[in-house]
Amino acid sequence: MKKHIPNTITLANLLAGCVGIVYVFNDDLYFAAYAIWLAAIFDFFDGFSARLLNVSSPIGKELDSLADMVTFGALPSFMLYKMAAGAPNAFLPYLAFSLALFAALRLAKFNVDTRQADSFIGMPTPAAAFFVSGIPFWLAEYPTLNHWQLSIGTALVLSLLLVAPLKMLALKFTDYTVARNLWRYLVVLVSILCWVALQAKSFPVIITFYLVISLISAKQKL
């Protein structure tokens, strides 16, 4: 029975992504963002439970990628598509789906790339989705930012970052010493401070900081 627990949690991740897409169709981008956050919680606990119960399997790994494709690829793409609805050309908003395409490529590469055991090459798909999830809250407070160019530009930049040959920090702790995890602790600390200061608007700031810190830490290890 216990071998089914991680996969059930992964399916909850997928369900959250599907529900989030429904919220986008209903013009509720706030709850779509909440769906991304909920899916991320499930995404963490499916791997955690698999390791805890010692029931990791190839099927679970593939199922996790399929769920992530919906929750962290398709859902944020639909959000950006909806936010780009005011574009002067009817075809321009479809560029938002570049994020879904590159997320699929990113996830496929991750499954076969043995170099990403303790770090990432390219931005992780959840990070891109988190960035998008914070945008509706910024637009609600600062309506002047609500331009279709922002949505399309965000989709294209995040798409490139997903597959860029950049070494990105993985928040995986093999131990908890400060010396070995200084950059990780810094990301965690700044993330908490940003959340306290900005709440839901914090995620684009957090992900941008994570990107900068990843580049700095990778350069110092060269």
pLDDT in tens, 151-199: 999 999 999 999 999 889 888 776 778 778 888 899 999 999 999 999 9
CATH at residue 47: 1.20.120.1760
Q: Are 43 and 64 in contact (CB under 8 A)?
A: yes
DSSP 91-116: TGGGGGGHHHHHHHHHHHHHHH-GGG
Q: Is residue 220 part of a domain?
A: no
Q: Are 103 and 84 in contact (CB under 8 A)?
A: no
Say whether 66 sits in a helix, a strand or coil.
Answer: helix
Please report which helix (H) or strand (E) contains residue 65, including its range.
helix 58-68
Say whether 8 sits in a helix, a strand or coil.
Answer: helix
Q: What are phi and psi of 197, to 5 degrees?
A: -80, -35
Across all residues in the chain, what is the average pLDDT?
91
Residue 50's pLDDT is 80
Q: What are phi and psi of 169, to 5 degrees?
A: -70, 135
Judged against a pLDDT cut of 80, whether residue 125 lies above it is answered with yes
- Strand runs (DSSP E) across the chain, as ranges? 119-121, 167-169
Q: Is residue 176 part of a domain?
A: no
Q: Is residue 47 part of a domain?
A: yes
pLDDT in tens, 1-40: 777 888 899 999 999 999 999 999 999 999 999 999 999 9
Q: Is residue 164 part of a domain?
A: yes
Judged against a pLDDT cut of 60, whether residue 222 lies above it is answered with no
pLDDT in tens, 85-114: 888 999 999 999 999 999 999 999 887 877
Q: Are 141 and 201 in contact (CB under 8 A)?
A: yes
Q: CA 218, CA 222: separation in Å to the nearest integer?
A: 7
> Measuring CA to CA, how many Å separate 58 from each of 4, 55, 65, 69, 190?
13, 10, 11, 17, 35
Q: CA 195, CA 7: separation in Å to the nearest integer?
A: 30
Q: CA 43, CA 84: separation in Å to the nearest integer?
A: 28
Q: Is residue 187 part of a domain?
A: no
| Residue 101: domain span | 2-169
Please count the structural domains in the chain.
Answer: 1
Q: Is residue 22 part of a domain?
A: yes
Q: Are 105 and 125 in contact (CB under 8 A)?
A: no
Q: Is residue 92 part of a domain?
A: yes
Q: Is residue 191 part of a domain?
A: no
Residue 181's pLDDT is 84
Q: pTM of the predicted model, to two decimals?
A: 0.93
pLDDT in tens, 60-92: 888 999 999 999 999 999 999 999 988 899 999
Region 195-215 average pLDDT: 95
